Amino acid sequence: MESTDPSSLEQQGWQALSSTGEQAAAFYDDMLDQEPLMLLPGGLLLVDRAAIVASLSGIPWSSYELSDLRVLYPTPDTAVVFYRVQARRGESAPYEALVSSTYARREQSWKLVVHQQTPC
């Protein structure tokens, strides 16, 4: 069984989102479950896997910091990662949100099922 903790996967996701659009898209194409759901600021609801991967391949974050990161395991095959993020793209205003990501164990790895961001 894969030993990677879901909180580590969340951190790897931010690293990918801070690199290039291609790397972010490749990372999330591998990490997303077959029927993911994303709830994003502005009432944006994404349920189409291809649209989610495409949306994550945009302008990279120039900086980010995760704090108060915690993981709950409601079942051995389910993990909920939650934390606060402060991030910035270039010279834009800082972005701060409370984030939760739900992972399900599928065969040998964790897959991202639900992701939600609530701006602070």
Residue with tokens 């992972």: 103
Residues 104, 80 contacting (CB under 8 angstroms):
no
Residues 6+ apart with CB under 8 A from 15: none
| Per-chain mean pLDDT for the chain | 94
Q: Is 27 in a helix, a strand, or coil?
A: helix
Q: Does the pLDDT value for residue 108 go beyond 90?
A: no
Note the pLDDT tens digit of each residue in 30-58.
Answer: 999 999 999 999 999 999 999 999 999 88
pLDDT tens per residue, range 60-85: 999 999 999 999 999 999 999 999 99
CA nearest neighbour of 96 among 71, 72, 61, 70: 61
Q: Are 115 and 52 in contact (CB under 8 A)?
A: no
Model-level pTM?
A: 0.93
Domains and CATH numbers, the chain: 6-119 (3.10.450.50)
Report d(CA 102, CA 105) in Å as an integer: 10
Q: Give which of 70, 59, 65, 69 is closest to 95, Cα–Cα.
A: 65
Three-state secondary-structure class, residue 62: coil
